[in-house]
Amino acid sequence: MSGLEPFGARLRRAMDERGPLCVGIDPHASLLAEWGLNDDVAGLERFSRTVVEAVADRVAVLKPQSAFFERFGSRGLAVLETCVAEAREAGALVVMDAKRGDIGSTMAAYAESFLHKDAPLFSDALTVSPYLGYGSLSPAVALARESGAGLFVLALTSNPEGGEVQHAVRSDGRNVGATMLAHLAAENTGEEPLGSFGAVVGATLGDLSTYDLDINGPLLAPGIGAQGATPADLPGVFGPAVRNVVPNVSRGVLRHGPDTVALRDAAERFAEEIRHTVTAS
């Protein structure tokens, strides 16, 4: 299978050219209502198309949350297919936020759904859960390499429940979150200018200096905006790895819809503020 240029290289270029910002596409019922849209397939389509039209030609990454499309069944998935295709055509990289995780042939099937170049939902990267053991992700790692795609592995998430797993200490004295970071650093060894295997690390977690975040790969950082973190917080959280951070903003941009100009302006403000913060650090 002939693949694309590696995701890490494409992401580095997009971040440098467009600014390091990921805008989430999260059409949950309350946000549809705020936009004056019905909680149905027509509302879903209008919402996702408006976001893509507003920002896909200027932000580095768009991240649709698949669950909000899946809840409408096959018609919702058809909207998601169109959303992904149109976002990529406009020049944005698409990270599918599906958080898939399983073993063997089932993990392989999940990977084929989002990472095979001919799949209707082919995305530039996929979020995955490693909590059946990092090795369970092997089919996704292999297919991502083959297709030029990437993965974002849940490592240090911002939800309070995550700590009971991610902060659990192994027999070697290293906790589970740090173990995931080490696996990703190994995947990215020798890759230039950036590896394709990233971690999800919450921007709301405060000082993470006890963790080695230098995995030579991207760090997808939810929590900017409505969850309480600001661009100014990023250097303190991520330290020297801040240049590889892809901050995710969802409601902070989406609340400005359905006006496309307002959506665009909000995304550009976040991107510029993040770029300035990263450059100055």
Q: Measured between alpha carbons, how far is 44 from 98 in angstroms, rounded to an integer? A: 17
- pLDDT classification of 219: cutoffs 50, 70, 90: very high
Instruction: Inform me whether the pLDDT recorded for 200 exceeds 70.
Output: yes
- pLDDT classification of 183: cutoffs 50, 70, 90: very high
**In-domain check, residue 140:** yes
Chain mean pLDDT for the chain:
96
Per-residue pLDDT reduced to its tens digit, 93-137: 999 999 999 999 999 999 999 999 999 999 999 999 999 999 999
Instruction: Inform me whether the pLDDT recorded for 2 exceeds 60.
Output: no
CA-CA distances (angstroms) from residue 83 to 44, 88, 98, 120, 134?
10, 9, 15, 11, 30
**In-domain check, residue 91:** yes
**In-domain check, residue 173:** no
Task: CATH number of the domain at 75, please.
Answer: 3.20.20.70
**In-domain check, residue 124:** yes
CA-CA distances (angstroms) from residue 36 to 27, 33, 254, 257?
12, 5, 13, 10
Report, as residue numbers or ranges, the catalytic residues.
99
Per-residue pLDDT reduced to its tens digit, 36-71: 999 999 999 999 999 999 999 999 999 999 999 999
Domain count, the chain: 1
Per-residue pLDDT reduced to its tens digit, 156-176: 999 999 999 999 999 999 999
| Other residues' Cβ atoms within 10 Å of the Cβ of residue 165 | 13
- Residue 189: phi and psi, rounded to 5, are -55, 125
Q: Provide the residue range defining the domain that includes 72.
A: 7-167+193-205+217-227+260-276
CA-CA distances (angstroms) from residue 199 to 202, 218, 265, 280?
10, 7, 28, 23
**In-domain check, residue 134:** yes
**In-domain check, residue 61:** yes
**In-domain check, residue 181:** no
Q: What is the pTM of this model?
A: 0.97
**In-domain check, residue 252:** no
Instruction: Inform me whether the pLDDT recorded for 234 exceeds 80.
Output: yes
- pLDDT classification of 279: cutoffs 50, 70, 90: confident
